[in-house]
Copies of this chain bind each other. A is one copy, B any other.
Amino acid sequence: MKRVVTVTPNPAIDLSYQVAGITPGASHRVAAPLSRAGGKGLNVARVAHQLGHPVLALAPSGGAVGAEFAAELRSSGVPHRLVPVAAETRRSIALVDTVGGETSIFNEQGSPLQPSEWQALAAAVVEALDGQGAGVLVGSGSLPPGAPADFYPALVRLAHDAGIPAVVDTSGPGIIAAARAGADLLKPNNHELLEATGEGSLEAAARQLIALGAKTVLVSAGAEGMLAFHHEAPGGYWSARLPEPLRGNPTGAGDAGVAAAAVALASGVSDILTILRSATAWSAAAVLMPAAGEISPLYADLENQLILTWKETL
Protein backbone atom coordinates (compact mmCIF):
# COMPACT_ATOMS: atom_id res chain seq x y z
CA MET A 1 0.00 0.00 0.00
CA LYS A 2 1.14 3.53 -0.68
CA ARG A 3 2.02 6.05 1.99
CA VAL A 4 -0.18 8.73 3.50
CA VAL A 5 2.02 11.84 3.54
CA THR A 6 0.81 14.53 5.95
CA VAL A 7 1.99 18.13 6.21
CA THR A 8 1.38 20.13 9.40
CA PRO A 9 2.63 23.69 8.91
CA ASN A 10 1.76 24.82 12.46
CA PRO A 11 2.32 21.82 14.75
CA ALA A 12 2.16 21.99 18.53
CA ILE A 13 3.15 19.99 21.51
CA ASP A 14 -0.16 19.07 23.15
CA LEU A 15 -0.02 19.12 26.95
CA SER A 16 -3.09 17.64 28.58
CA TYR A 17 -3.59 18.15 32.33
CA GLN A 18 -6.13 16.44 34.58
CA VAL A 19 -7.28 18.97 37.19
CA ALA A 20 -9.57 17.94 40.05
CA GLY A 21 -11.74 21.06 39.97
CA ILE A 22 -10.66 24.39 38.51
CA THR A 23 -11.06 27.52 40.65
CA PRO A 24 -10.33 30.76 38.77
CA GLY A 25 -7.67 32.78 40.57
CA ALA A 26 -6.44 29.80 42.61
CA SER A 27 -3.23 27.77 42.59
CA HIS A 28 -3.73 24.12 41.57
CA ARG A 29 -1.42 21.16 42.04
CA VAL A 30 -1.42 18.88 39.00
CA ALA A 31 0.35 15.70 37.90
CA ALA A 32 2.67 15.74 34.88
CA PRO A 33 0.63 16.15 31.70
CA LEU A 34 0.10 13.73 28.86
CA SER A 35 2.55 15.26 26.38
CA ARG A 36 2.19 14.57 22.70
CA ALA A 37 3.52 15.89 19.40
CA GLY A 38 0.29 17.26 17.98
CA GLY A 39 -1.27 19.34 15.31
CA LYS A 40 -3.97 18.05 12.96
CA GLY A 41 -1.65 16.42 10.41
CA LEU A 42 0.21 14.61 13.17
CA ASN A 43 -3.11 13.25 14.44
CA VAL A 44 -3.97 12.05 10.93
CA ALA A 45 -0.60 10.28 10.63
CA ARG A 46 -0.90 8.74 14.11
CA VAL A 47 -4.32 7.25 13.41
CA ALA A 48 -3.31 5.82 10.01
CA HIS A 49 -0.12 4.45 11.58
CA GLN A 50 -2.10 2.92 14.47
CA LEU A 51 -4.17 0.97 11.94
CA GLY A 52 -1.06 -0.32 10.18
CA HIS A 53 -0.97 1.98 7.16
CA PRO A 54 2.36 3.41 5.97
CA VAL A 55 2.66 7.12 6.73
CA LEU A 56 5.13 9.96 6.66
CA ALA A 57 4.45 13.06 8.77
CA LEU A 58 6.17 16.31 7.77
CA ALA A 59 6.34 19.38 10.00
CA PRO A 60 8.63 22.24 10.96
CA SER A 61 10.13 22.06 14.43
CA GLY A 62 12.21 24.61 16.34
CA GLY A 63 13.66 25.64 19.65
CA ALA A 64 13.57 23.83 22.97
CA VAL A 65 9.85 23.08 22.63
CA GLY A 66 10.59 21.70 19.16
CA ALA A 67 13.18 19.38 20.71
CA GLU A 68 10.51 18.16 23.15
CA PHE A 69 8.13 17.75 20.18
CA ALA A 70 10.76 15.78 18.23
CA ALA A 71 11.59 13.55 21.21
CA GLU A 72 7.94 12.60 21.71
CA LEU A 73 7.47 11.97 18.00
CA ARG A 74 10.53 9.69 17.89
CA SER A 75 9.24 7.68 20.82
CA SER A 76 5.80 7.39 19.18
CA GLY A 77 7.22 5.38 16.28
CA VAL A 78 5.30 7.43 13.70
CA PRO A 79 7.56 7.85 10.64
CA HIS A 80 8.28 11.53 10.23
CA ARG A 81 10.61 14.13 8.87
CA LEU A 82 10.99 17.41 10.75
CA VAL A 83 12.28 20.55 9.03
CA PRO A 84 14.42 22.52 11.50
CA VAL A 85 13.31 26.14 11.88
CA ALA A 86 14.43 29.01 14.10
CA ALA A 87 11.02 29.76 15.63
CA GLU A 88 10.00 27.94 18.77
CA THR A 89 7.36 25.23 18.19
CA ARG A 90 4.11 26.21 19.88
CA ARG A 91 2.21 24.50 22.70
CA SER A 92 -1.44 23.68 23.09
CA ILE A 93 -2.59 23.28 26.69
CA ALA A 94 -5.72 21.33 27.63
CA LEU A 95 -7.06 21.53 31.17
CA VAL A 96 -9.40 18.60 31.72
CA ASP A 97 -11.57 19.36 34.76
CA THR A 98 -12.18 15.90 36.21
CA VAL A 99 -14.84 17.31 38.54
CA GLY A 100 -16.71 19.73 36.29
CA GLY A 101 -16.20 17.50 33.23
CA GLU A 102 -15.24 20.36 30.92
CA THR A 103 -12.02 20.71 28.94
CA SER A 104 -10.60 24.20 28.42
CA ILE A 105 -8.01 24.61 25.69
CA PHE A 106 -5.32 27.27 25.27
CA ASN A 107 -3.73 27.21 21.79
CA GLU A 108 -0.60 29.25 21.19
CA GLN A 109 -0.90 30.79 17.75
CA GLY A 110 2.57 29.85 16.52
CA SER A 111 5.53 31.90 15.33
CA PRO A 112 6.38 33.04 11.80
CA LEU A 113 8.78 30.96 9.70
CA GLN A 114 11.48 32.50 7.51
CA PRO A 115 10.96 32.40 3.70
CA SER A 116 13.85 29.94 3.39
CA GLU A 117 12.17 27.70 5.97
CA TRP A 118 8.92 27.65 3.97
CA GLN A 119 11.05 26.64 0.96
CA ALA A 120 12.68 23.87 3.00
CA LEU A 121 9.24 22.57 4.05
CA ALA A 122 8.09 22.59 0.40
CA ALA A 123 11.31 20.81 -0.61
CA ALA A 124 10.62 18.15 2.03
CA VAL A 125 7.16 17.65 0.49
CA VAL A 126 8.63 17.32 -3.02
CA GLU A 127 11.13 14.77 -1.75
CA ALA A 128 8.41 12.80 0.07
CA LEU A 129 6.34 12.64 -3.13
CA ASP A 130 9.30 11.59 -5.29
CA GLY A 131 9.18 8.02 -6.57
CA GLN A 132 6.21 5.68 -6.25
CA GLY A 133 5.79 5.50 -2.47
CA ALA A 134 3.27 8.25 -1.80
CA GLY A 135 -0.44 7.57 -2.28
CA VAL A 136 -2.03 10.77 -1.00
CA LEU A 137 -0.93 14.16 0.33
CA VAL A 138 -2.77 15.62 3.33
CA GLY A 139 -2.35 19.24 4.46
CA SER A 140 -3.88 19.91 7.87
CA GLY A 141 -4.46 22.64 10.35
CA SER A 142 -3.87 26.32 10.84
CA LEU A 143 -1.04 28.33 9.32
CA PRO A 144 1.37 30.26 11.52
CA PRO A 145 1.28 34.09 11.25
CA GLY A 146 2.93 35.35 8.08
CA ALA A 147 2.51 32.09 6.15
CA PRO A 148 2.35 32.31 2.34
CA ALA A 149 -1.33 32.67 1.37
CA ASP A 150 -0.88 30.01 -1.30
CA PHE A 151 0.60 27.35 1.00
CA TYR A 152 -2.33 24.92 0.73
CA PRO A 153 -2.99 25.52 -3.00
CA ALA A 154 0.72 24.88 -3.59
CA LEU A 155 0.41 21.55 -1.74
CA VAL A 156 -2.52 20.59 -3.98
CA ARG A 157 -0.42 21.36 -7.08
CA LEU A 158 2.56 19.38 -5.76
CA ALA A 159 0.28 16.36 -5.17
CA HIS A 160 -1.24 16.61 -8.63
CA ASP A 161 2.20 17.01 -10.22
CA ALA A 162 3.10 13.73 -8.51
CA GLY A 163 -0.12 12.13 -9.78
CA ILE A 164 -1.73 11.63 -6.37
CA PRO A 165 -4.81 13.11 -4.70
CA ALA A 166 -4.66 16.02 -2.24
CA VAL A 167 -6.68 16.37 0.97
CA VAL A 168 -6.85 19.69 2.82
CA ASP A 169 -8.33 20.24 6.29
CA THR A 170 -8.00 23.85 7.37
CA SER A 171 -10.16 26.82 8.22
CA GLY A 172 -10.58 30.36 6.91
CA PRO A 173 -9.40 31.53 3.48
CA GLY A 174 -7.22 28.41 3.11
CA ILE A 175 -10.36 26.36 2.41
CA ILE A 176 -11.37 28.60 -0.48
CA ALA A 177 -7.83 28.66 -1.87
CA ALA A 178 -7.55 24.86 -1.69
CA ALA A 179 -10.91 24.46 -3.44
CA ARG A 180 -9.77 26.78 -6.25
CA ALA A 181 -6.62 24.70 -6.63
CA GLY A 182 -8.77 21.60 -7.22
CA ALA A 183 -8.31 19.75 -3.92
CA ASP A 184 -9.63 16.19 -4.15
CA LEU A 185 -11.12 16.29 -0.67
CA LEU A 186 -11.79 19.11 1.79
CA LYS A 187 -12.84 18.30 5.36
CA PRO A 188 -14.07 21.43 7.17
CA ASN A 189 -16.36 21.11 10.15
CA ASN A 190 -19.81 22.71 9.92
CA HIS A 191 -18.73 25.95 11.63
CA GLU A 192 -15.54 26.34 9.57
CA LEU A 193 -17.47 25.66 6.35
CA LEU A 194 -20.13 28.33 6.97
CA GLU A 195 -17.56 30.84 8.17
CA ALA A 196 -15.18 30.39 5.23
CA THR A 197 -17.87 30.54 2.54
CA GLY A 198 -20.23 33.08 4.10
CA GLU A 199 -23.16 30.85 3.11
CA GLY A 200 -26.20 30.23 5.31
CA SER A 201 -26.55 26.48 4.76
CA LEU A 202 -24.06 23.62 4.71
CA GLU A 203 -25.33 22.52 1.32
CA ALA A 204 -24.89 25.92 -0.32
CA ALA A 205 -21.46 26.22 1.29
CA ALA A 206 -20.27 22.79 0.10
CA ARG A 207 -21.63 23.45 -3.38
CA GLN A 208 -19.69 26.74 -3.47
CA LEU A 209 -16.44 24.86 -2.78
CA ILE A 210 -17.26 22.30 -5.48
CA ALA A 211 -18.09 25.08 -7.94
CA LEU A 212 -14.66 26.56 -7.19
CA GLY A 213 -12.91 23.27 -8.03
CA ALA A 214 -13.05 20.86 -5.06
CA LYS A 215 -13.97 17.25 -5.95
CA THR A 216 -15.36 16.09 -2.60
CA VAL A 217 -16.38 18.01 0.50
CA LEU A 218 -16.71 16.01 3.69
CA VAL A 219 -18.36 18.06 6.47
CA SER A 220 -18.03 16.94 10.07
CA ALA A 221 -21.00 18.06 12.13
CA GLY A 222 -20.33 16.75 15.64
CA ALA A 223 -23.09 14.52 16.97
CA GLU A 224 -24.90 14.89 13.63
CA GLY A 225 -22.18 12.78 12.00
CA MET A 226 -20.82 13.65 8.57
CA LEU A 227 -22.13 14.88 5.22
CA ALA A 228 -20.50 14.10 1.89
CA PHE A 229 -20.83 16.23 -1.23
CA HIS A 230 -19.31 15.13 -4.56
CA HIS A 231 -18.78 17.02 -7.80
CA GLU A 232 -20.29 14.17 -9.84
CA ALA A 233 -23.44 14.00 -7.71
CA PRO A 234 -24.85 17.53 -7.93
CA GLY A 235 -28.39 16.43 -7.06
CA GLY A 236 -27.91 15.74 -3.35
CA TYR A 237 -25.60 14.49 -0.65
CA TRP A 238 -24.97 11.53 1.62
CA SER A 239 -25.03 11.74 5.37
CA ALA A 240 -23.85 9.19 7.93
CA ARG A 241 -24.44 9.09 11.66
CA LEU A 242 -24.69 6.71 14.57
CA PRO A 243 -28.12 5.88 16.03
CA GLU A 244 -27.02 7.56 19.29
CA PRO A 245 -24.22 10.12 19.61
CA LEU A 246 -21.19 8.93 21.63
CA ARG A 247 -19.93 10.59 24.77
CA GLY A 248 -16.22 11.19 25.03
CA ASN A 249 -13.43 13.44 23.88
CA PRO A 250 -14.16 15.01 20.47
CA THR A 251 -10.64 16.47 20.12
CA GLY A 252 -9.05 14.92 17.04
CA ALA A 253 -12.27 13.27 15.85
CA GLY A 254 -12.19 15.23 12.61
CA ASP A 255 -8.54 14.26 12.09
CA ALA A 256 -9.44 10.57 12.44
CA GLY A 257 -12.04 11.11 9.72
CA VAL A 258 -9.38 12.66 7.49
CA ALA A 259 -7.11 9.67 8.24
CA ALA A 260 -9.84 7.29 7.03
CA ALA A 261 -10.38 9.31 3.85
CA ALA A 262 -6.63 9.54 3.23
CA VAL A 263 -6.12 5.79 3.70
CA ALA A 264 -8.98 5.13 1.27
CA LEU A 265 -7.57 7.51 -1.34
CA ALA A 266 -4.04 6.12 -0.91
CA SER A 267 -5.50 2.65 -1.54
CA GLY A 268 -7.09 3.80 -4.79
CA VAL A 269 -10.62 3.96 -3.35
CA SER A 270 -12.53 6.97 -4.62
CA ASP A 271 -16.11 5.84 -3.98
CA ILE A 272 -17.70 8.62 -1.95
CA LEU A 273 -19.97 6.35 0.10
CA THR A 274 -17.08 4.08 1.13
CA ILE A 275 -15.05 7.11 2.18
CA LEU A 276 -17.95 8.65 4.10
CA ARG A 277 -18.60 5.39 5.99
CA SER A 278 -15.04 4.85 7.13
CA ALA A 279 -14.47 8.55 7.86
CA THR A 280 -17.58 8.71 10.06
CA ALA A 281 -16.72 5.45 11.85
CA TRP A 282 -13.07 6.39 12.53
CA SER A 283 -14.16 9.81 13.67
CA ALA A 284 -16.66 8.30 16.13
CA ALA A 285 -14.02 5.80 17.29
CA ALA A 286 -11.73 8.72 18.11
CA VAL A 287 -14.34 10.17 20.48
CA LEU A 288 -13.98 7.03 22.62
CA MET A 289 -10.24 7.64 23.20
CA PRO A 290 -8.78 10.00 25.83
CA ALA A 291 -6.30 11.69 23.46
CA ALA A 292 -6.32 12.98 19.91
CA GLY A 293 -4.44 10.84 17.38
CA GLU A 294 -5.90 7.48 18.45
CA ILE A 295 -9.07 5.59 17.65
CA SER A 296 -10.87 2.80 19.48
CA PRO A 297 -10.63 -0.71 17.96
CA LEU A 298 -14.45 -0.57 17.89
CA TYR A 299 -14.29 1.43 14.64
CA ALA A 300 -15.43 -1.55 12.53
CA ASP A 301 -18.43 -2.19 14.81
CA LEU A 302 -19.29 1.49 14.68
CA GLU A 303 -19.16 1.43 10.88
CA ASN A 304 -21.76 -1.39 10.88
CA GLN A 305 -24.11 0.70 12.99
CA LEU A 306 -24.08 3.77 10.76
CA ILE A 307 -27.33 5.18 9.44
CA LEU A 308 -26.71 6.31 5.84
CA THR A 309 -29.08 8.69 4.12
CA TRP A 310 -29.14 10.11 0.60
CA LYS A 311 -30.74 13.50 0.55
CA GLU A 312 -32.02 14.60 -2.86
CA THR A 313 -31.83 18.36 -3.18
CA LEU A 314 -32.47 19.13 -6.81
Q: Which residues of A contact B (CB under 8 A)?
A: 15, 17, 19, 22-33, 63-65, 67-68, 71-72, 88, 90-91, 93, 95, 97, 100, 102-109, 111
User: By the criterion CB–CB under 8 Å, are A28 and B107 in contact?
Assistant: yes
CB distance from A274 to the nearest CB of B (A): 32
A91–chain B nearest beta-carbon distance, Å: 8
Bound CA span A66–B198, Å: 46
Task: Specify the chain B residue showing the minimal Cβ separation from A111.
Answer: B32
Closest partner residue, chain B, to A13 (CB atom):
B64
Bound Cα distance from A106 to B64, whole angstroms: 21
Query: Can you give 30 A-B contacts (C-beta < 8 A)?
Result: A17-B106, A22-B24, A23-B104, A24-B97, A24-B100, A24-B102, A25-B102, A25-B103, A27-B105, A27-B107, A28-B104, A29-B107, A29-B109, A30-B106, A30-B108, A31-B108, A31-B109, A32-B90, A32-B108, A33-B91, A63-B68, A64-B64, A64-B68, A64-B71, A64-B72, A65-B68, A67-B67, A68-B68, A93-B93, A95-B106
Shortest CB distance A32–B (Å): 5
> What B residues does A107 contact at CB under 8 A?
27-30
In this complex, what residue of B is CB-closest to A28?
Answer: B106
Specify which of A27, A91, A106 lies most central, judged by the most chain B CB atoms within 10 Å of its CB.
Answer: A106
Assembly CA distance A111 to B31 (angstroms) = 9
One of B23, B32, B97 near A88 (C-beta < 8 A): B32
Tell me the bound Cα distance from A28 to B72 in angstroms. 24
Residues from chain B with a CB closer than 8 A to the CB of A26 are 104-105
| Cβ distance A112 to chain B, nearest Cβ, rounded Å | 11
Are B32 and A104 within 8 A (Cβ)? no
Residues of B within 8 A of A29 (CB): 107, 109
